[in-house]
Amino acid sequence: MFKVGVLSIISMIFVVRAFSYDLDASSGSLYDKYGGQAGVQKIVDESVVALLADPTVASYYVVIGQSGHDTADRLKSCLDLQFTVLMGGLGKYPGVSHYRNAPKRGYTCENMKVAHSDLGINNQAFDQFVMILGSVLQRAGVDRKDVDILAPTLLGLRSDVVTKTILP
Amino acid sequence: MKEFFRSRFCRGVLGFTTATLLIVAFVHTEIAKKLSLSPDVLAWIGVACPASLATSAQVDELRQEVLSDLRGKEKAPSYPALDWSLNRANEKGLLRQLRMKQFDCEGKIKSYRVIECKRVPAKNENIIADKLIFVMDEDQKLMAVEVFYRQLSSQYAIRHLQKVFTALKKQLGKPSYQMGSWTPDYFRKEMNSSILEYKYQDYLAKVTATRLPKKGVAIYEQYLLLR
């Protein structure tokens, strides 16, 4: 169950708590500061590598592309959109993402509560992914004060994502 | 022939098949998701998620795509993983040891064969791990160990990190990468993370410690064989 929860967390971790928001890119946004789309994709890619390194987590990803599950491209594309919006770039989440190898119409990225409702994520798994992604941000050179800006949004997702409360 | 299709048996088979197909189709719909149809429920009705059915070979294949980003240049002189050594310990021996230590452990198949232990006390320390996981390869040899602690005071967390570092340094020398620091001041700040990493061509030891908001310090240790 932890494994299943894992991917769900990945796909939510960089999203905002509110299900819908819209931000305009402006000079001085974190999106611009950290290299725009290239910077966002680097963070998404490193997060996925950190997660796949773990054999107990990687098993979930094997089903990516199979019927009823995300494709790798769709997953990364939606993560790109979430990150972009979170960091003040152009876009709206949930919404349609055209990043990566998205088809012409783009990928539809659903809200976090719906996306994670059937994944049985517990608090322990959520904490584990906050750690992984927090350290990816720091390692990628995101300033401490900017992590502070992003953190409340990430942590605020707990109530939307955690559906199991076996552990505190 | 007509009689066969009208038979109770044939109608039963057709009915069952149709019902099964309808259930399978339904659980993949958005409505089912919104109804929070959990994997447990799916498993109960016999429709397990394919994630739990992936073979270890499939997972290995997938991991190979990203492992190159994690490898160092040289081969590891040894493969330490807490009190064990990767690629040497086997499942039988491990289970015997864990039983002797009276840990609360359970063997499972999650693509790989794993042994999951809960509420494990750290050796000679006054802290308890939320979970300790052993992952076995196809030859039933130990290929990964992971341990996860939460809600530690910075004092206990620092003591534990130093202990882990001393053990790794003794066997592997200088780490490949270090980020953050291990001081009470550092762990006072929420979301501050530290990383200690030993990267080899065939082995990775990574220790991440983060001060989680309102939850103390969490430590995630990973010891992985990279094949």
Chain segment B175-195, per-residue pLDDT in tens: 999 999 999 999 999 999 999
Looking at CA atoms only, how far is residue B92 from chain A in angstroms? 20
CB-nearest partner of B222 from A48, A54, A148 = A54
A145 contact B CB<8A? no
Taking CB atoms and an 8 Å cutoff, what residues of chain B touch A134? 191, 193, 210
Contact residues, A window 47-66, toward B, CB-based 8 Å cutoff: 48-49, 52-56, 58-63, 66
Arithmetic mean of pLDDT, B9-29: 61
For chain A, domain boundaries: 21-161
| Contact state of B193 with A131 under an 8 Å Cβ cutoff | yes
A167 contact B CB<8A? yes
pTM for the full model?
0.77
d(CA B215, CA B190): 9
Alpha helices in chain B (DSSP H): 2-6, 8-27, 30-34, 39-44, 56-67, 91-100, 154-172, 184-188
> Using 50, 70 and 90 to split pLDDT, how confident is the model at B44?
very low
Consecutive H or E run containing A149: helix A144-155
The distance in angstroms from the start CA to the end CA of chain A is: 16
pLDDT for the residue B150:
94
Chain segment B81-104, per-residue pLDDT in tens: 999 999 999 898 999 999 999 999
> Using 50, 70 and 90 to split pLDDT, how confident is the model at B60?
confident
Which of A117-131, B19-33, B57-71 bottoms out in mean pLDDT, i.e. has the lowest?
Answer: B19-33
pLDDT for the residue A4:
41
Size of interface A-B (CB pairs under 8 A): 138
d(CA A117, CA A115): 6
Nearest C-alpha neighbor of B224 from the set B120, B109, B124, B112: B112
Does position B53 have pLDDT exceeding 90, yes or no?
no
pLDDT for the residue B40:
47
Contact residues, A window 110-139, toward B, CB-based 8 Å cutoff: 114, 117-120, 124, 127-128, 130-132, 134-135, 138-139
B204 contact A CB<8A? yes
> Using 50, 70 and 90 to split pLDDT, how confident is the model at B48?
very low
d(CA B165, CA A20): 44
Which of A29-43, A154-168, B127-141, B183-197 bottoms out in mean pLDDT, i.e. has the lowest?
Answer: A154-168
Coil, helix or strand at residue A107: strand
Q: Which residue of A has its CA nearest to B61?
A: A62
Taking CB atoms and an 8 Å cutoff, what residues of chain B touch A63? 49-51, 54
> Using 50, 70 and 90 to split pLDDT, how confident is the model at A67?
low
| Contact state of A59 with B37 under an 8 Å Cβ cutoff | no
CB-nearest partner of B36 from A63, A118, A124 = A118
pLDDT for the residue B111:
83
Asked if the interface predicted TM-score (ipTM) of this complex is over 0.85, the answer is no
Contact residues, B window 56-95, toward A, CB-based 8 Å cutoff: 58-59, 62-63, 65-67, 69-70
Asked if residue A94 lies in contact with residue B85, where contact means CB atoms within 8 angstroms, the answer is: no
Which of A24-33, A51-60, B121-130 bottoms out in mean pLDDT, i.e. has the lowest?
Answer: A24-33
Q: What is the dihedral of CA B83, B84, B90, B94, to 10 degrees?
A: 10
Consecutive H or E run containing A36: helix A36-52
pLDDT for the residue B55:
82
Chain segment A77-119, per-residue pLDDT in tens: 888 999 999 999 999 989 999 998 889 999 888 888 877 766 6
Q: Which residue of B has its CA nearest to A72?
A: B62
pLDDT for the residue A1:
44
Q: Which residue has the tokens 């240049």?
A: B73
In whole numbers, what is the pLDDT of chain A averaged over residues? Answer: 77
In whole numbers, what is the pLDDT of chain B averaged over residues? Answer: 84
Fold of A21-161: Globin-like (1.10.490)
Look at B61 and A17; give whichever has higher pLDDT. Answer: B61
pLDDT for the residue A28:
81
Chain segment B105-146, per-residue pLDDT in tens: 999 887 899 999 999 999 888 899 999 999 999 888 999 999
d(CA B191, CA B170): 30
Angle at A149 between CA A146 and CA A150, to 5 degrees: 95
> Using 50, 70 and 90 to split pLDDT, how confident is the model at A19?
very low
Look at B30 and B158; give whichever has higher pLDDT. Answer: B158
> Using 50, 70 and 90 to split pLDDT, how confident is the model at A62?
low
- Mutation site for B-interface testing, chosen from A10, A63, A111, A131 by largest number of B Cβ within 10 Å: A131
Look at A50 and B149; give whichever has higher pLDDT. Answer: B149
Which of A83-97, A153-167, B46-60 bottoms out in mean pLDDT, i.e. has the lowest?
Answer: B46-60
Cα-to-chain-centroid distance, residue B63: 14
Taking CB atoms and an 8 Å cutoff, what residues of chain A touch B62? 52, 58, 61-62
Q: Which residue of A has its CA nearest to B134?
A: A56
Q: What is the dihedral of CA A20, A25, A31, A33, to 10 degrees?
A: -150
pLDDT for the residue A53:
85
Which of A145-154, B12-21, B137-146 bottoms out in mean pLDDT, i.e. has the lowest?
Answer: B12-21
Coil, helix or strand at residue A49: helix
B150 contact A CB<8A? yes
d(CA A86, CA A150): 7
Looking at CA atoms only, how far is residue B180 from chain A in angstroms? 9
